[in-house]
C-alpha cells in the first residue's frame, strides 16, 4: 500500500511568477496556461481580488520538493 494521493504544491518547473497556477494545473491534469488565463480573467472581473488570492495561495501552498 503506497501513497496514491496527489498533493497540491507550487510547481518548480512550470512557473511564471510563484508557480501557483502551474501547480494547480499539474494537480488538475490540465494545461497550466488555461489555469493562468482563467485566473487573469477572474482577477480582472473581480477588480484585483484574484491577485490577492494568488498572493495568499503563494504563501499557503508549499513548494514542490523533488
Supply 42's cell numbers: 477572474
pLDDT in the model for residue 20: 92
pLDDT in the model for residue 64: 82
Q: DSSP assignment of 5-63, as one string?
A: -----B-SSS-SSSSHHHHHHHHHTS-HHHHHHHHHHHHHHTTTHHHHHHHHHHHHSPB
Q: What is the pLDDT of residues 20-62, one digit of tens each?
A: 999 999 999 999 999 999 999 999 999 989 999 999 999 999 9
Contacting residues for 58 by C-beta, under 8 A, at least 6 apart: 10, 17, 18, 19, 20
Average pLDDT over residues 1-14: 80
Amino acid at each position: 500500500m503506497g501513497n496514491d494521493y496527489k498533493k497540491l504544491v507550487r510547481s518548480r518547473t512550470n512557473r511564471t511568477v510563484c508557480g501557483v497556477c502551474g501547480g494547480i494545473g499539474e494537480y488538475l491534469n490540465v494545461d497550466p496556461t488555461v489555469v493562468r488565463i482563467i485566473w487573469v480573467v477572474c482577477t480582472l472581473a473581480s477588480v484585483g481580488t484574484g491577485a490577492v488570492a494568488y498572493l495568499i495561495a503563494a504563501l499557503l501552498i508549499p513548494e514542490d520538493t523533488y
